[in-house]
Amino acid sequence: MDLKALIRTIPDHPKPGILFRDITTLLADGPGFREVITRLAARYQDAGIAKVAGIEARGFILGGALADRLGAGFVPIRKSGKLPGATIGHDYELEYGVDRVEIHRDAVSPGERVVLIDDLIATGGTAEAGLVLLRRLEAEVVEAAFVIDLPELGGRRRLETTCPTFCLIAFEGH
Amino acid sequence: MDLKALIRTIPDHPKPGILFRDITTLLADGPGFREVITRLAARYQDAGIAKVAGIEARGFILGGALADRLGAGFVPIRKSGKLPGATIGHDYELEYGVDRVEIHRDAVSPGERVVLIDDLIATGGTAEAGLVLLRRLEAEVVEAAFVIDLPELGGRRRLETTCPTFCLIAFEGH
């Protein structure tokens, strides 16, 4: 199945010159969405995954489905102030300014095998921050997984230096 | 399986006197999460569901897994300004102020059978707004489904006047 053909490109979003890769058209296609989850589940089926950690918000859609397939728990990594229990957080730099992600302190137990998932890796800043949080909880992060890679932005190469990284689809140009 | 026992209650969150029902402990429990999705999937398995519409953000976790089980597409209903394509939106009243949800114009085709899903129904305002959007796209909303109902807040009773509504767990007191 040509998953790439199911992803819509929106030119000049969110600003002029950017080709925005919109995964919602793939998610809305029943067979396409199932194929994405089937490929990811096949990859991690025998990896002893205890938790799937999804990054807010589109990582929740993929992570929920993957956790269900694997019989694993789902753990949300959220923007600041969104989680109700005791959290740890990590600040990371954006092009302009700073952002922060948080995770519940008790979301993962030491040694638990975890897959980190998001829909897309661009510069990799958010994924790297999620990885920091999971490792502070002493999770064993088996891999970081993404549907879409934008190789020109270098996030995958950067993340690979610290964690195995898997992407289903790459788009040249961004 | 006692799903209710897997939900954590956080007293005085987000303000004094509120018992916050935290679903993340249920989601993080592999068998518990799978049981939730199994019950929902059993309910809609033979209902000819084309799309599962999940409300941002926790509805994405459940909705992604349910769509995958049903072989349906997943459609996000998001807060204002988050969707990249052409949208329609609906404003709804909060206790103090107004909020807005949006959906892609092409997310659902007329006549498609849809389940609307979120983790929890309180006053039902967000769910009702999501329902308005789906119906403006001429979806046939088969049911609105929630894991947690807070009956004292009346959202379920209110939503039921316009759409079949299903909840897995009810908590008295809020």
The CATH number linked to B111 is 3.40.50.2020
Whether residue B104 lies inside any domain: the answer is yes
The pTM for the full model equals 0.98
Whether residue B29 lies inside any domain: the answer is no
- Residue A120, judged by CB atoms within 10 A of its CB (0-12, 13-18, 19+), counts as buried
pLDDT tens digits, residue range B10-53? 999 999 999 999 999 999 999 999 999 999 999 999 999 999 99
Position B174 scores a pLDDT of: 56
- The minimal CB distance from B22 to the residues A13, A68, A84 is found for A84
Position A96 scores a pLDDT of: 84
Q: What average pLDDT does this structure show over B112-134?
A: 98
A83 Cβ partners below 8 Å, 6+ apart?
A: A76, A102, A103, A104, B24
B101 Cβ partners below 8 Å, 6+ apart?
A: B55, B56, B77, B78, B79, B80, B89, B90, B92, B126, B129, B130, B133
In this predicted complex, what is the ipTM? 0.97
Whether residue B66 lies inside any domain: the answer is yes
Whether residue B25 lies inside any domain: the answer is no
- How many structural domains comprise chain A? 1
Edge-to-edge strands of the sheet including B51-55? Answer: B87-93, B98-104, B73-79, B51-55, B113-121, B140-149, B165-170
Going through B1-81 in order, the beta strands assigned E by DSSP cover 8-11, 19-22, 51-55, 73-79
Whether residue B112 lies inside any domain: the answer is yes
- In Å, how far is B30's CA from the nearest CA of chain A? 4
Say how far apart CA A18 and CA A16 lie, in whole Å: 6
Whether residue A31 lies inside any domain: the answer is no
Whether residue A6 lies inside any domain: the answer is no
| Residue bearing tokens 């993957």 | A66
Could you list the residue range(s) of the whole structural domain that residue A130 is in? 48-170
pLDDT tens digits, residue range A123-143? 999 999 999 999 999 999 999
Tokens read off for A24? 């919602």
Whether residue B24 lies inside any domain: the answer is no
Q: Taking CB atoms and an 8 Å limit, are A73 and B27 in contact across chains?
A: yes
Among chain A, residues having any CB pair with chain B shorter than 8 Å are 8, 10, 13-14, 20, 22, 24, 27-34, 37, 50-51, 54, 56-58, 60-65, 67-76, 78, 82-85, 104, 107
Q: Taking CB atoms and an 8 Å limit, are A85 and B8 in contact across chains?
A: yes
